[in-house]
Amino acid sequence: MWARLRTDWVAIFGLFLVLLAVIFAFCAEIIAPYDPLQVAMYESLEAPSFDHIMGTDILGRDVFSRIIYGARPSLIIGVVATSISLLIGLIIGAIAGYYGGWLDSLLMRITDVFLAFPFFLLAIAILTFLGTNLVNIFIALSMVGWTNYARLVRGQVISLRHRDYVKAARSIGANDSRIILRHVLPNILAPVIIYTTMNVGVIILAEAGLSFLGLGVQPPHPSWGLMLAEGKDYFFAASWTVIWPGIAIFLTVLGYNLLGDGLRSALDPRQ
Amino acid sequence: MLNSKRYPSLVIAIIVSAALILTGCGLTTEPTKNTTLSASIPVDGGLFRFGMISSPTALDPAFLVEVNGIEIAKELYDGLIRYDPNTLEVKPAIAEKWDYSADKKVLTFHIRKDVKFHDGTGVNAQDILDVWNRLAAKATVSPVAFPLEPIVGFAEVNSGAAQTISGLKKIDDYTIEVTLKEKNAAFLTSLGHPTVSIYKLEAAKKAGQDFGTPASTPETIVGTGAFKFVKWNSDQDITIEKFKDYYGTKAHVDQVVYRIFKDESTALNEFRAGTLDYVDLLPPGQSQAIIQEFPDQTIKTITFTNEFIGFNLSKAPFKDNVYLRKAIAYAIDPQSVVDSILSGLSTVSNGPLPITMPGYDKDLICPSFDQTKAKEYLAKAGYPEGKGLAPIQYAYNFNQTNQIIAEAFQSQLKEVGIPTELKSMEWGSYINAVQQGDTQMFRLAWGADYPDPDNSLRVLYTKSQWGMNNNTFYSNPQVETLMTQGLEENDTLKRMAIYKTIQEKLVEDQPAIWTFNTTYLRLFGKNVHDLTISALDQKDMRTVWLSK
C-alpha cells in the first residue's frame, strides 16, 4: 500500500498537511511564540508584523499562537469522536450483517432513525441537552457519526459472510465472534480505513461549527471555530482574525480528504 | 475523483496568497465622533424610511415589553404626560396640568378638551379610566402594568377581586383624581411610559386578540398620538401616517414606514442602496468603518441602560466578604474594553446610575482599575495573592460581545491572582439561574423604563425585589429607608440628595461593579434633519423632517 501511496503526490500532500496539524498539536509549546491566552488589550487587532506574524485578535492575543494551540482540540475531537463512532458502527454493522434476519432489520431501523436527523442539528440538540464540555462534544459527535460506519460495515460483512473461507472456519468449529473478529473484519478494513480518514475531516469541520455557535470548545481556550466566531464581527477592520483560522480548518480538512482519496486508490485492487 | 485532485495545491496557493493580501488590508480605527444634528427651517411632507432590526412583538400598550414596540407605540398613543425629547423633563400631553393634594397622595389631572382619537371622536376622562382599568385587570395579564401599582385599589383589580381601580375617580368629563397608596414622587414621571397611554378601548375590544398584532387595521388601532396606524405587514414593515387633527405640534413627515430587518448588515446595505433614511442598529465591529464611510451622518446616544457585574451575596465567596468584591472592582479595567472591544462606542459607568439619569452623581468615587489596590483587598479578603481562592464562576448570557468582554475581565482578574471560570448560557436558562441565585458572579444590564432614579435603584437593590430584579440579593436596612424617603420626597433637590447618599452606600457595599453605559451609534441620511434620540433610546418622529 505504501509503495502505491508514495507515488501519489496529491496523497502525500494530504499526509503532509495532516502531519503538520499533528506536529502543531503535539509541539505547540515549542512552536507558538506567545501564550495563546495572554491578553494584551492595548495591542488589540494589530495587523500582521514581525512581532505577530498573523496579527492579533480583539483581545490582543497572538493569532499565530492561537492557531497552533487550536490544532489540539480539533485533532483530539476529530480522532476521539471518529474512533468512538467507528467502534459503535463496527459492532452494530458487523452484528447486523453477520446474523441478518430480524436482528439486522431492528438494528438498521435504529440506524435509519438516527440518519433521519440532519447530522449537525442532532449534534446541536444533544449538546444543548447535555451542556458543553469536551466529553459531551465526544458524545454528541459520536452519537451522530456511527450510523454511516454501521451501514458500511454491514454491507461489507453481508458480501463476505457466505465466502468459502468463512464457511471453512465455521466447519472446523470456530464460533461467531472468532469468525467476525479474525476472518470477516480484517477483510473489510480497506473501505473502513478510507472512510475513517475522510470522516476525521468531517468531524473537525463539525467541531469548528459547534465552537462557532458557542457549543464547542469554551473560551478562553483557542479553537479554530471559536476564533472564527470571535473574529467575524471585525472582518472588515481586521480580516486576519478570520482568514487564518479559516485557512487552518480548510487545510486540515483538505489534508484528511486528500489522504483518504489516496488511500482509496492505494487500496483499490482494480488499480 | 482522481482528475479533480490534480489542482488542489494551485487552489491552496491562490487562497493563501489572497489571505496574505487581505490580512494586510485592515482598516485603521479612529476615535468615534459624537455627532449631533443641526436644526434649520423644517419642511413638511415626505416618507421617512426607518430601518428597524427585529419585529415588534406587539403594539397593544398593555404588552409593550420590548424597545421596538415602544418605539412605534409612542407615536400612535399619547399619555397624560410626555417627556421632552431632549431633556426628558415631564411635559403636559393629554393632561394640560395637574395638582397635588396637601398630603401629596392625591393627584388631580385636568384633561385637554381638544384631544381626539384617530377616528375623530373626542377623548374624555372616562376613556382614560377605562384604558387604565383594562391594563390593571387580571384578565389582561399585562406584564407592564407597573406604573399603576402605586394607585389605591390596583392590587384588587390586578388580583381579580375588583373590576375598577378604587383610587381612580372621574370628577367630571375632563378631570381625573388619582389617589396613591403612599407619597410617590416617581409616579408622575412613570406615566410617560407608553404602556399607560390612551387608545380607544371600544375599537380594541372589537379587535379582541388581534389588537396590536399584524392583523390590526386603522379601525382597531385608534390612538391619540401624532401618527395614526396604517398597516402592519408581518416581519416586513409597519406604516404610520401623520394625524392631521392632532392636538399638539404636528409631525413634519407625512408617513413613517418602519422596515423590519432580521440583521443589521442587510439594513446597512439597504441604506447604502438609498432605500432607507435611518438605520437603528449597526453591525457589531463595524462602527469605525461606518463613521469613516458616512462622516457627519452618525449620532451617538448614551442610554439609560447600565451594565454591571453582579455578585451573589447569598452565598460564598461573596457573602459577607466586601473585600473580595472590592478586589474584583479594582482588578478589572472597563476603559480598556471600551477602547478596544467596543471600538470606543460605549461609556464607562461611574456607579449604580446611568450617567444620563437625573440624580446621577458625577463626583461619586467608585473603585477604578488599580492592580495594587486589588491585591491589597484580596489579601484583606483572606486570599493573599489569590491563595486558597477557588475559581469563581463568571456567568453571562451568550453573545459574542459578552463572551469577549468576559474573556478580557477573566484575564485581568488572573493578573492579580483571582481565578475565574467562564459560564455562558442562553438567555432563558441564564436569567432563571441568576434569579434563583445559582450563579456566583454574573453579567446583567438594567435599562430604566422612565427617567427617574427610583426606577434604577429601588428595583435593583431592595429586598422586595429579591429573585426578580434584585439578583445580587443585596439588602441594607439603611438603604431601604433611604429608598422610601426618596420616593416620598417631592422636593427635587432634597430628593436628589437622598439618591446621592444611596449611591454612596451602594458603592461602599459593592453588591455589583457597574461597567458600561450602553451607547448606540445610529446612521441617518443626508436629507434627515432634527432627529432627536433620547436617553430612553426613543426617536421622536414628530420633530424629524426631510429636505428635498
B interface with A, Cβ–Cβ < 8 A, is 1-2, 5-6, 8-9, 12, 15-16, 19, 22-27, 29, 283-286, 288-289, 333, 336-337, 339-341, 398, 400-401, 403-404, 406-408, 410-412, 422, 424
A53 pLDDT exceeds 50?
yes
> For chain B, what percent of residues have pLDDT higher than 70?
93
Supply the pLDDT for residue B87: 87
Rounded to two decimals, what is the model's pTM? Answer: 0.82
Question: For the packed helices A240-267 and A9-26, what is the interaxial angle rounded to 10 degrees?
Answer: 130
Question: Which of B410, B412, B424 lies at the smallest CB-CB distance from A214?
Answer: B424
Cα diameter, chain A:
76
Task: Give residue-wise pLDDT tens across range A220-260.
Answer: 889 999 999 888 888 888 999 999 999 999 999 999 999 98
Contact (CB<8Å) B407/A39: yes
Residues of A in contact with B332 (CB under 8 A): none
A&B contacts, CB < 8 Å: 111
Contact (CB<8Å) B398/A39: no
Residues of A in contact with B15 (CB under 8 A): 247, 250
Task: Give residue-wise pLDDT tens across range B440-490.
Answer: 999 999 999 999 999 999 989 999 889 888 999 999 999 999 999 999 998
Task: Give residue-wise pLDDT tens across range B217-232.
Answer: 999 999 999 999 999 9
Supply the pLDDT for residue B3: 41
Distance from CA of A260 to the nearest CA of B (A): 12
| Rounded CA separation A30/B522 (Å) | 47
Is A243's Cβ below 8 Å from some Cβ in B?
A: yes
Task: Give residue-wise pLDDT tens across range B513-542.
Answer: 999 999 999 999 999 999 999 999 999 999
CB neighbours of B417 closer than 8 A, spacing ≥ 6?
A: B375, B378, B383, B385, B386, B387, B389
8 A C-beta contact, residue B512 and residue B311 = yes
B430 pLDDT exceeds 50?
yes
Cβ under 8 Å to B: A residues 45-104: 45, 47-48, 54-55, 58-60
Least confident of A2-11, B243-252, B304-313: A2-11
Is A253's Cβ below 8 Å from some Cβ in B?
A: no
Distances (CA, A) of A252 to A13, A241, B292, B298, B345: 11, 18, 38, 43, 38
B5 pLDDT exceeds 60?
no
8 A C-beta contact, residue B454 and residue B186 = yes
| Rounded CA separation B204/B76 (Å) | 14
Residues of B in contact with A37 (CB under 8 A): 411
| Rounded CA separation B228/B220 (Å) | 11
Least confident of A155-159, B47-51, B68-72, B126-130: A155-159
Contact (CB<8Å) B411/A220: yes
> For chain A, what percent of residues have pLDDT higher than 90?
55
Taken in order of first residue, the domains within chain A and their CATH numbers are 9-27+61-267 (1.10.3720.10)
Q: Report ipTM (2 d.p.).
A: 0.78
Distance from CA of B25 to the nearest CA of A (A): 8
| Rounded CA separation B410/B402 (Å) | 12
Mutate to test the interface with B, among A7, A20, A41, A43 (most CBs of B within 10 A): A41
Question: Which grid cell is B356?
Answer: 444620563
Cα diameter, chain B:
93
Supply the pLDDT for residue B18: 52
- In whole numbers, what is the pLDDT of chain B averaged over residues? 90
Contact (CB<8Å) A233/B286: yes
Question: For chain B, how many residues are written?
Answer: 548
Supply the pLDDT for residue B82: 95
Mutate to test the interface with B, among A64, A243, A250 (most CBs of B within 10 A): A243
| Band (A271; pLDDT cuts 50, 70, 90) | low
Phi, psi for B268 (deg, rounded to 5) = -65, -40
Q: Which of B400, B402, B381 shows the shortest CA–CA distance to B328?
A: B381
Q: Which of B160, B193, B179, B258 shows the shortest CA–CA distance to B63?
A: B193
8 A C-beta contact, residue B63 and residue B77 = no
Supply the pLDDT for residue B122: 96
